[in-house]
Amino acid sequence: MRKVLSSLAVLAALVAVPAALHATPITGQFSITGASVTDNGSSLTFVPDSINAGAANTLTGDFSSLIAAGESGTITQTINYNPYVANSGVITLTNPDGTTVTYTIATLTETSAAGFDLFSGTGIITTNAAGFDPTEGTLLFSSQGNGTVTFSATAAASPVPEPSTLALLGTGLVGIAGVVKRRLA
């Protein structure tokens, strides 16, 4: 009986580890163009708040199937960046089929160069399409000096772990520890 329980604990651990390590991050890059922006030195106001995905050749990786060229979307009406409050800026693109890609901006920094402002940030990219985990990404955009904003976002290959995945991994490790303890006792 003891060998059966030990075997089950080891089997559970072996099943838990690959499940915990398997995640499908969103990969690739996309660009978007925005409407006019007003920069008052501490916040960006987008009027109107509508944006569009870039041309098909600007969509790479998973974004080529998640976002359609020219797809419409929105950006949070005002983004305060001096100081920036984490997760207060959100960019959302919605495909006609209902698929959404959302970029929640975690950090945002500004630098000025030659009459226009450059912004860079990090954040989490999510989608309601099945099979993808929330993924860390970077965001670059500029105000171009003429009121027009262009964006480029890249998804990294390191997903944000889900709590249930970590719990499953922890359960497997506890099972292994129990087996090792019993064998040593």
Same domain, 79 and 10: no
Same domain, 31 and 19: no
One-letter amino acid at 11 equals L
E strand or H helix that includes residue 78: strand 78-80
pLDDT at 13: 47
pLDDT at 93: 84
Same domain, 1 and 58: no
Q: How many CB atoms are located within 10 Å of the residue 182 CB?
A: 12
Same domain, 2 and 39: no
Same domain, 151 and 184: no
Q: Whose CA is closest to 155, among 51, 61, 55?
A: 61
Same domain, 13 and 100: no
Q: Where are the beta strands (DSSP E) in 89-147?
A: 89-94, 100-113, 116-127, 135-142
Supply 158's token pair.
């390191």
Same domain, 175 and 131: no
Same domain, 100 and 121: yes
Same domain, 18 and 91: no
b/e per residue 74-101 (b: at least 16 CB within 10 A):
bbbebbbbeebeeeebebbbbbeeebbb
pLDDT one digit per residue (tens) for the chain, 185 residues: 455 444 444 444 445 444 444 568 888 888 877 667 777 778 888 777 777 887 888 888 888 888 888 888 888 778 888 888 999 888 888 888 888 999 899 998 888 777 677 888 899 999 999 989 999 988 887 766 555 666 666 776 544 555 566 566 667 666 676 666 677 76
E strand or H helix that includes residue 176: helix 163-184
pLDDT at 166: 59
Same domain, 87 and 149: yes
Give me the number of domains the chain comprises: 2
Q: What is the pTM of this model?
A: 0.67
pLDDT at 3: 53
Residue 87: which region, alpha, beta or left (left: phi > 0; alpha: psi -120 to 50)? left
Q: Identify the bridge partners of residue 73 per DSSP, sorted by sequence position.
A: 51, 93
pLDDT at 156: 61
pLDDT at 145: 59
Supply 56's token pair.
């098909």
Range of the domain at 177: 1-23+161-185
Same domain, 38 and 124: yes
Same domain, 63 and 93: yes
Is-contact 175 9, C-beta < 8 A? Answer: yes
